Chain A
């Protein structure tokens, strides 16, 4: 299927990002029921329904070109958003192969990969890139392999080395994050970089998740959804730029809440990498404004109830404290109190 890109959208300054009706209907709502609490909600990352965000291993949608430009802007200002420790080079090539193979297989009209042994030629038509290189030789690419390829794909990518019964975040491209920093977390173990998450440690979530991931198999990737909320359709809500967006939380009013407040859903994918035996963790963010969300009656009711009844510790961790009541007030008129059908389908 061919994607109609919206190359001029912005995720800063004038914030012209919008979802088309098609993008709204395929939005990955993370709430299968009217309440929310953590769970180890991991499932096999198998191809999902046609047109959904999980139809393919890596989703390319109408925001692709604009998101790649946004990433380039962030990197220009702060090159430390990409980092890779020296021992992660084989994992970098693993990631490049994974992304190039997936995109060229699933979107052949947009991407082409030609391989003859280690001589590879990569064509990315939406971004106008044509690159011949030698797989395994970093000198034949304009950037390091992970840097090069993640400039051409949506979402953040963190690469973990597996050793000593743990996973260590030791390479990554992180420009569209929900308030965490690769520069701060790089080199940390699995539980260290999840340190700030409330409640889940006590629930044993990370013990189980780590054990599960250590046994993650080649060719059997997994996924889960996570979520938070963001004021304005800003992809780069990083600690490094907090001075630019932190005060946005105080700008939400009953008049502007529908357009300003966005549900931010992360489709997180995890793949075992073949040559390095590492794991790559992708965090693909999807944004939807409350006004767009409310065009789906079931979702308006569902999100109203989830936010109204959210555990205070989660509300605080997700940074919703200052404007949660305003959002609940906006969504309340859409909720007639009638039961919702199970699952997340729009109906």
Chain B
């Protein structure tokens, strides 16, 4: 799960689609077809910056059956540690990047009878590909897309062309808001809900779905956290017998990798659970930023997700 076999890709198109979002098309450098994927999948894009390597997850938003290019959209993160800035400022048509094979942590339920797709802002990206899969399979669906204002509404034409009357757009600037209570209270049995957007939106939907008695298995969500910056700290890797210094603007996982130690991962965004690492000693506190560990596990101080979480400590020893 560290990926020796990445695919070399070339950027073949770049378009600024909103003031904050750029849309990239990537084609295999060797001209071959890219691997097939399912709606909801993401790829890890490996960006070789001047002094470091960024590895960021981006959802594939193109049509899953069309494999000449992959399409991703990148929102410029104001607090970025560099990945999204690199994509916005440095990457242009002709640039080469590496990508890992697609992974789907936000898959459509194939036994679902109806699908309600909820997007906030750039969270529309996996939903674009899911829309294509649902269209292909002729399964009933609705899209509810919430954005700040018309100029921030990426991919509206594409959504409208495919989804037509199934698309509902809500502009904060006009005071529109998705009526989650209305949506959650009126669906037929066998309906699945999918949410991709800001943390507040996901929390709201999860809370309301529980209130309305929805089974957890019918509520799907995805939110990749960008690893937040923080104070520097030092880590000892017990099995490798290595000391690693974690600088403010790199993640714990990135610093461990830079020291030559491989940690398994799928998403690098605090979702999949694969980089879960046992804490052997801690003098200080862990700063958990993931969506995977339970509250009890976070409070225990015995386990950490190094892709997004950090520590404020005098001493931290990991079982690596």
Listed in ascending order, the chain A residues whose CB lies under 8 Å from chain B are 87-88, 90, 94, 97, 136, 161-164, 215, 217-220, 274-277
Q: Does B38 contact A (CB under 8 A)?
A: yes
- Give 30 A-B contacts (CB < 8 Å), ordered by A residue: A87-B110, A87-B111, A90-B110, A90-B137, A94-B36, A161-B111, A163-B109, A164-B217, A215-B264, A215-B274, A217-B103, A217-B266, A218-B35, A218-B37, A218-B101, A218-B102, A218-B103, A219-B5, A219-B101, A220-B5, A220-B101, A274-B35, A274-B36, A274-B37, A275-B36, A275-B37, A276-B38, A276-B110, A277-B38, A277-B40
Q: Does B107 contact A (CB under 8 A)?
A: yes
B291 to chain A, nearest CB (A): 14
B263 to chain A, nearest CB (A): 13
Number of A-B contacts (CB under 8 A): 56
CA distance A136 to B5 in the complex (A): 28
Determine the chain A residues whose CB is within 8 A of the CB of B5 once the complex forms. 219-220
A275: which of B38, B103, B111, B266 is its contact (CB, 8 Å)? B38
Mask: chain B, 281-313; 1 = CB below 8 Å from A; 0 = not: 000000000000000000000000000000000
Determine the chain B residues whose CB is within 8 A of the CB of A136 once the complex forms. 65
Q: Are A219 and B35 in contact (CB under 8 A)?
A: yes
Number of interface residues of B (CB under 8 A): 25
Determine the chain B residues whose CB is within 8 A of the CB of A163 once the complex forms. 107, 109-111, 217
B152 to chain A, nearest CB (A): 30
Determine the chain A residues whose CB is within 8 A of the CB of B107 once the complex forms. 162-163, 277
Q: Does B272 contact A (CB under 8 A)?
A: yes
20 other contacts beyond A163-B110, A218-B103, A277-B104, with CB at 8 A cut-off?
A: A88-B110, A90-B137, A94-B36, A161-B111, A164-B217, A215-B266, A217-B3, A217-B103, A217-B266, A218-B102, A220-B5, A220-B101, A274-B37, A274-B102, A275-B36, A275-B37, A275-B38, A275-B64, A276-B38, A277-B38
CA distance A136 to B1 in the complex (A): 31
CB-CB nearest 10 A-B residue pairs: A274-B36, A87-B110, A218-B101, A277-B38, A277-B104, A164-B217, A219-B101, A277-B107, A275-B36, A163-B109
Chain A, residue nearest B101 (CB): A218
Determine the chain B residues whose CB is within 8 A of the CB of A161 once the complex forms. 110-111
Q: Are B1 and A217 in contact (CB under 8 A)?
A: yes
Determine the chain A residues whose CB is within 8 A of the CB of B109 once the complex forms. 163
Determine the chain B residues whose CB is within 8 A of the CB of A217 once the complex forms. 1, 3, 101, 103, 266
CA distance A276 to B107 in the complex (A): 9
Determine the chain A residues whose CB is within 8 A of the CB of B217 once the complex forms. 163-164
Determine the chain A residues whose CB is within 8 A of the CB of B64 once the complex forms. 275
